[in-house]
Amino acid sequence: MKAIKLMDVVKHVNAIDYTAIDRTISVTNVEFDARKIQAGGLFIPLVGGSTDGHSYIQQAIDNGATATLWSRDQSEAPTDQLAVVFVDDTLEAFQKLAHFYRNEINPVVIGITGSNGKTTAKDMTASTLKAKYNVHKTEGNYNNEIGLPYTLLHMPEDTQVCVVEMGMSGFGEIEQLSKIARPDIAVITLIGESHLEFLGSRAGIAQAKLEILKGLKENGIFIYPANEPLIETEMPEIDYPIYMRSFGFDDQADVFAYDLAEEPDKTYFKTNIDDNVISMIPVIGAYNVSNALVALSIAEVLDVPSEQAIFQLAQFKLTANRLQWLKTHQGARLLNDAYNASPTSMNAVLTTLSNIELEGVDRKIAVLGDIRELGNMSEQLHRELSHSIDPTIIDKVYLFGSQMTYLYDELKGKFAAEDLVHIEADHAELIATLQADILATDVLLVKSSFGVDLLQVVTALTGQVTK
């Protein structure tokens, strides 16, 4: 990161007070984990739940911290060992500092949110833009009120484009993130059903996602799915001009894809950006083409030559545990997509499992866990998953979790008893049953919400560590 003067920290976090032996120092790294602090670092002692970062101040000092934020009583601060900036709330100060640093580096900021696909769209976008720019992006799932400011404060000084992911579970969260990041380009990948428990309806989800526009810069660009009427009906009032660009599979969209063809580890398609070139993404799933359209739309806006953007798109790497092909101990192919789930994404990947043609495969097996945070729509949405499971194509189904009882009820008249298994809570039982059943000629899909922890099942079946 670019060094930040101590006095700029004091000014931009709205400090109550500060103390320093040397007021001219600068900080060269920022961390909230005392173990990661390096020489010249600013420590951010976050407070939450049973954890109070102030308790780790000595470890931060030992690792080289030269300054710290501080919201405990001033008498407790180690003012004899490092500069101390006193604030009311260390998280709020952290966010304010990130906003300052975003403006100091002043890259083109791209904010991406959505019910599904935001991590993949972020990774694809960063990959395409590397053809022309120095790009910094959100790593892993650092997409919340802590992760986003952390991402911004870790931008190298030469960053030209910063791609940030914005996650949420309730109202007001995306607005807060967007106002910290102040995106030049705002993206919604999809309005799905995630977080229905907290937001009440798809309209509520749309309202929460559209909060990203509250921080979009004047004359900024909003990129959104063309086939989503809720974008128009729930659009907030904005008192300054923005530009809108849609993407999808209909030729009425500003950027659209057609002539899709799926293979086990890649998907081909054409776009109206360049009708003469076949695009490819190194990942299965026609639904991932939507995320590719986001990336190509942004590349076009930022004047990346289309042939370079398409080439870079073909090189992108998926974040771990998202559509990851693995081998089981028996030699069967396993498609691991157990990091997250919504009804939309589960239906989509079940369609992909149904459509995929793999040489030497005798059985297609779906291993599905509960989808969380669906509130009073949970029963209906789990039952409706049955529409994507054709017993003439998918040979066997394993269901895990209490909510999958509803899908079991829908399927039990369609599958033979030995081809439909429901286990409510015992991971060990599911693992043992699968290990006894899997053959080398099978292909398995494993999909669930993260909290269901089917990743431990994937690890047991493949020997591959998942997290």
For residue 321, what pLDDT band results from cuts at 50, 70 and 90?
low
Look at residue 230 in the predicted model and tell me its pLDDT. Answer: 94
C-beta separation of 334 from 446 below 8 A = yes
User: Residue 9: enclosing H or E segment and its boundaries?
Assistant: helix 6-12
What's the sign of the alpha-carbon dihedral 242, 146, 192, 190? positive
- Cα 82 from Cα 249, distance rounded (Å): 57
Token code pair at residue 20: 């320093």
**Quick one: which of 29, 19, 12, 24 has its CA closest to 83?**
19
CATH topology of domain 4-90: 3.40.1390
Task: Please state, in angstroms and rounded to a whole number, the distance separating the CA atoms of residues 318 and 108.
Answer: 23
324-462 maps to which CATH number?
A: 3.90.190.20
pLDDT attached to residue 464: 83
Find the mean pLDDT for residues 163-184: 95
CATH class of the structural domain 107-313? alpha beta
Per-residue confidence (pLDDT) for residue 356, from 0 to 100: 87
Give the span between the Cα atoms of 189 and 192, in whole angstroms: 10
Mean pLDDT of the chain: 94
pLDDT computed for residue 45 by the predictor:
98
First-to-last CA distance in the chain?
28
Q: Check whether 195 has a pLDDT greater than 90.
A: no
Quick one: what percent of the chain has pLDDT higher than 90? Answer: 85
Q: In this structure, what token pair is assigned to residue 338?
A: 């157990």
The pLDDT of residue 467 = 60
Q: What is the pLDDT of residue 199?
A: 76
pLDDT range class, residue 201, cuts 50, 70, 90:
confident
Given this chain, do its domains 4-90 and 107-313 carry the same CATH topology? Answer: no
Amino acid at residue number 20: A
Annotated binding site: 114-120
**Residue-level pLDDT at 169:** 82
Does the structure show a pLDDT above 90 at 196? no
| pLDDT of the residue at 270 | 96
Give the model confidence (pLDDT) of 260-306 as tens digits: 998 888 999 999 999 999 999 999 888 899 999 999 999 999 999 99
Phi (first) and psi of residue 276, to 5 degrees:
-90, -5
What is the reported pLDDT for 260?
Answer: 93
**pLDDT (tens digit per residue) in 28-54:** 999 999 999 999 999 999 998 889 999
What are the sequence ranges of the domains in the chain? Answer: 4-90, 107-313, 324-462
Residue 233: the pLDDT is 94
Mean pLDDT, to the nearest integer, of 144-155? 97
| Residue 323 near residue 337, CB atoms below 8 Å | yes
**pLDDT at residue 154, rounded to an integer:** 98
Token digits for 341? 């789930």
Would you state the pLDDT for residue 198? 75
Task: Give me the mean pLDDT over the 11-15 stretch.
Answer: 97
pLDDT in tens, 382-429: 999 999 999 999 999 999 999 999 999 999 999 999 999 999 999 999
Binding-site residues for ATP, please? 114-120
Q: In this prediction, what percent of the chain has a pLDDT beyond 70? A: 99
Mean pLDDT of 44-68: 96
Specify the pTM. 0.87
